Chains A and B, each alone.
Chain A
Amino acid sequence: MRSIWIITKRELQSFFDSLIAYIMLVLFLGFSGFFTWLYGSDIFLVGQANLESFFNIAFWTLFFFIPAITMRMLAEENKTGTIELLLTKAVTDREVILGKFFACFILVAIALAFTLPYYVTVANIGNVDHGAVWCGYLGLLLMSAAYISIGLFTSSITNNQIVAFLLALFIGLFFHIIFNVLSSNLTGFMGQLFNTLSLSAHFESLARGVIDTKDIVYFLTIVGIGVRLAEMSLAKRNLTN
């Protein structure tokens, strides 16, 4: 546990030292704030005291921002060779992956925490469904966790950050839209299957304010698979032929 936290701390420090964290926070808040309050189907246009427009825009901004955060996590270590030094310390492969996972997760959580004033503002101008708001935040966090694990996996299989970024977007795209589109175009078992696989379907159900074990299990399963695959990809160095 201690090793995971040490790695998480180092990664967070590196985020804040290298300006990545600040750029990410400013861009995320800028985008989400602009579309929540000023433009498009913003809160004033909708005219309802809820954060649905914010959740909709965060759903998309996080989709693009998370691969940008995760892309360097292992790809850079692979490229510079620091992974060798890290893995010959008293840590396991899993601790390395989890340490990096939590660093990204905390950064996203910080970004989301900065949007809490939106919630306070909306709560002051109307009757807010508090449960729905918290569920929405939970949904965003779970979705972020899922994309972070996918991003970590793609970062682990290459030493090129751009490849890691694009690959994470590519895989993410299936969960984000493609499964959803397929599920609405198909009927019967296949339709049901794609609906179950679609991340947006599970997110929407959470954002409506319904906490269903199915949704939680769905997100945690993606996290589990992503982390495990990243771990396996690190262990690839042990293969002989």
Chain B
Amino acid sequence: MDIKIEKLTKTYGTQKAVNDISFEVKTGEILGFLGPNGAGKTTTMKMITDYIAIEAGDIKIGGKSITKEGDRLRRHIGYLPEHNPLYQDMAVLDYLEFSAAIQAVPQHLIPARIREMVKVCGLNAEKHKKIGELSKGYRQRVGLAQAMIHDPEILILDEPTTGLDPNQIVEIRKLIKEIGKEKTVILSTHILSEVEATCDRILIINKGRIVADGTSETLRKQSQGQELVTVAIEDGKKEEVLKAINGLSSVASIEATGPNHYEVQSKPDMSIKRAVFTACVENNWVITEMTPHVTKLEDVFRELTA
């Protein structure tokens, strides 16, 4: 099921939490939803899951508007809210049974679904405990299990890996990737490496507006433009090196960062590695290091949302 968001707006008081955003998520796509705190991620997710009403615009799930058919569409959505609210006084198995029943899973399929979720989310050792007695990581797993128990076509996960240990994070990411092959997944997170590891597409939102939309690769390229290389050049005097490299047509600037170490920046859309190498060969200097700087997603994020 596709999700289509059209000119979505939501105001709290005088503050526009979500301001006229439009995007689409296709079946088999995992969308990473990024943004600083208070950017409008959670509000958008709450509107997609039909928890709060839409003020303006529309959300279409499988072509049907959530404002008109919300009650029926919710059956196809699995949702893990931000703080993972669960009934603390219920045992894990009872809770999963309740979640399955209330999401209209046929009675005869419920035991099988619960077994599968317990296996998939690694809940076997804790399944008889009350949720209130579980550690944060296990609670998170219960939250994921309840979101997926009815085998929904759409999964909305608000920070799914908070509180998990590194092993679990890897497992859950693998799981999300697996699910994302056939289903539509939207996940929000603050962990940028997580988005790179799991998502097909990234959407960065800031102050209620979309500021970037694309794969991590395209986002990096967009913000990059110029090439930045750290080179270590030996056998040459600093002034000579600076002069020779600066004289190259593709070089925008060069800066000495340490003994024999320089940071060279290209002019927009030009490559400098070959030119630097040739210049060093001509002057009989030895290059002992040449490291191209990769723009990190963190940088892209900071640039767009700061």
**A contacts, CB < 8 Å to B:** 2-3, 6-7, 10, 13-14, 17-18, 80-92, 237-238, 240-241
B77 vs chain A, min Cβ distance (A):
7
Query: Which residues of A sit under 8 angstroms from B46, Cβ to Cβ?
Result: 84
Mark contacts of B61-96 with chain A using CB atoms, 8 A cut-off: 1 yes-contact digit, 0 otherwise: 000000000011011010101010111111000100
Q: Are B85 and A80 in contact (CB under 8 A)?
A: yes
- How many of chain B's residues have a CB under 8 angstroms from any CB in A? 33
Q: B270 on the interface (CB 8 Å rule)?
A: no
Q: Are B85 and A81 in contact (CB under 8 A)?
A: yes
Query: Which residues of A sit under 8 angstroms from B94, Cβ to Cβ?
Result: 13
**B contacts, CB < 8 Å to A:** 10-13, 46, 49-53, 55, 71-72, 74-75, 77, 79, 81, 83, 85-90, 94, 98-99, 101-104, 146
Q: Are A14 and B71 in contact (CB under 8 A)?
A: no
A11 vs chain B, min Cβ distance (A):
10
Q: A90 is contacted by which of B13, B87, B103 (Cβ under 8 Å)?
A: B103
Q: Are A85 and B85 in contact (CB under 8 A)?
A: yes
Q: Are A241 and B87 in contact (CB under 8 A)?
A: no
A89-B102, A237-B51 known; A14 and B86 CB under 8 Å?
Answer: no
Query: Which residues of B sit under 8 angstroms from A241, Cβ to Cβ?
Result: 11-13
Q: Are B81 and A10 in contact (CB under 8 A)?
A: no
Interface of A is mostly: helix
Q: Are B98 and A10 in contact (CB under 8 A)?
A: yes
A95 vs chain B, min Cβ distance (A):
9
Q: Are A88 and B50 in contact (CB under 8 A)?
A: yes
A-B pairs with beta carbons under 8 Å apart, 17 shown: A6-B101, A6-B102, A10-B87, A10-B98, A14-B87, A14-B89, A14-B90, A17-B89, A17-B90, A83-B85, A85-B81, A85-B146, A87-B51, A88-B50, A88-B74, A90-B104, A240-B11
Query: Which residues of B sit under 8 angstroms from A13, Cβ to Cβ?
Result: 90, 94
A13-B94, A88-B79 known; A238 and B53 CB under 8 Å?
Answer: yes
Top 9 closest pairs, chain A to chain B, by CB: A238-B53, A81-B85, A90-B75, A88-B49, A82-B85, A6-B101, A88-B79, A89-B102, A90-B74
Query: Which residues of B sit under 8 angstroms from A88, Cβ to Cβ?
Result: 49-51, 74, 77, 79, 81
Q: B83 is contacted by which of A2, A81, A92, A238 (Cβ under 8 Å)?
A: A81
Q: Which of B12, B71, B85 has the most CB of A within 10 A?
A: B85
Q: Are B86 and A90 in contact (CB under 8 A)?
A: no
A14-B90, A237-B52, A238-B53 known; A90 and B71 CB under 8 Å?
Answer: yes
Q: A89 is contacted by which of B13, B74, B89 (Cβ under 8 Å)?
A: B74
Q: Are A91 and B102 in contact (CB under 8 A)?
A: yes
B215 vs chain A, min Cβ distance (A):
29
CA distance A192 to B12 in the complex (A): 46
Query: Which residues of A sit under 8 angstroms from B81, Cβ to Cβ?
Result: 81, 84-85, 88
Q: Which of A83, A237, A240 has the most CB of B within 10 A?
A: A240
Q: Which of A6, A7, A82, A85 has the most CB of B within 10 A?
A: A85
CA distance A213 to B170 in the complex (A): 65
A177 vs chain B, min Cβ distance (A):
35
Query: Which residues of A sit under 8 angstroms from B55, Cβ to Cβ?
Result: 240
Q: B102 is contacted by which of A3, A81, A82, A84 (Cβ under 8 Å)?
A: A3
Q: Are A85 and B77 in contact (CB under 8 A)?
A: no
CA distance A63 to B71 in the complex (A): 36
Query: Which residues of A sit under 8 angstroms from B99, Cβ to Cβ?
Result: 89
Q: Are B86 and A84 in contact (CB under 8 A)?
A: no
A37 vs chain B, min Cβ distance (A):
35
Q: A92 is contacted by which of B71, B101, B104 (Cβ under 8 Å)?
A: B71
A26 vs chain B, min Cβ distance (A):
20
CA distance A88 to B90 in the complex (A): 19
Query: Which residues of B sit under 8 angstroms from A7, Cβ to Cβ?
Result: 102
Query: Which residues of B sit under 8 angstroms from A6, Cβ to Cβ?
Result: 98, 101-102
B58 vs chain A, min Cβ distance (A):
15
Shortest Cβ distance from A13 into B: residue? B94
Shortest Cβ distance from B100 into A: residue? A6
Shortest Cβ distance from B156 into A: residue? A88
Query: Which residues of B sit under 8 angstroms from A3, Cβ to Cβ?
Result: 102, 104
Q: A84 is contacted by which of B10, B51, B74, B103 (Cβ under 8 Å)?
A: B51
Query: Which residues of B sit under 8 angstroms from A240, Cβ to Cβ?
Result: 10-12, 53, 55
A6-B101, A90-B75 known; A85 and B50 CB under 8 Å?
Answer: no
Shortest Cβ distance from A86 into B: residue? B102
CA distance A91 to B50 in the complex (A): 11
Shortest Cβ distance from B85 into A: residue? A81
